[in-house]
Amino acid sequence: MFVMREVLRCKPGKVGELKKKFQALNAVVKRRDLPGFTIMTDVAGDHFWTLVLQFEADSPEAFFAMEEQVMADAEARQVMAGYHDLVLSGSRELFRKET
């Protein structure tokens, strides 16, 4: 099992707006019978206005296949329209779950 985290550094004061977009996307994903994801926001750390999405998948390939399927969905694209305007930068982390 693998855990993927997408770490998004938002523009000041925009994490709430981005969180709402990802909550709506998570609803679309679940309606399509795909595995949902966890949404987390910072409480403390190096950067304010950070949003983290956490996914689990059997393999990195399974994650990327699911991501392609979601981004091909017209409703998902509509929900996420303009999200780049809320983000300064981002990164992806990949972990193998050991227990």
Domains of the chain: which residue ranges? Answer: 2-92
Alpha-carbon gap, residue 40 to 36, rounded angstroms: 13
**Is the per-residue pLDDT at 45 higher than 90?**
no
- Place 10 in a pLDDT band, splitting at 50, 70 and 90: very high
The pLDDT, as a whole number, for residue 46 is 83
- 67, 49, 84, 27: CA torsion to nearest 10: 40
Average pLDDT, the chain: 95
User: Has domain 2-92 been given CATH number 3.30.10.20?
Assistant: no
Residue found by looking up tokens 């609803």 in the block: 27
The pLDDT, as a whole number, for residue 47 is 85
The pLDDT, as a whole number, for residue 99 is 84
Is 94 within 8 Å of 7 (Cβ atoms)?
A: no
Render pLDDT for 54-71 as a digit per residue (tens, 0 to 9): 999 999 999 999 999 998
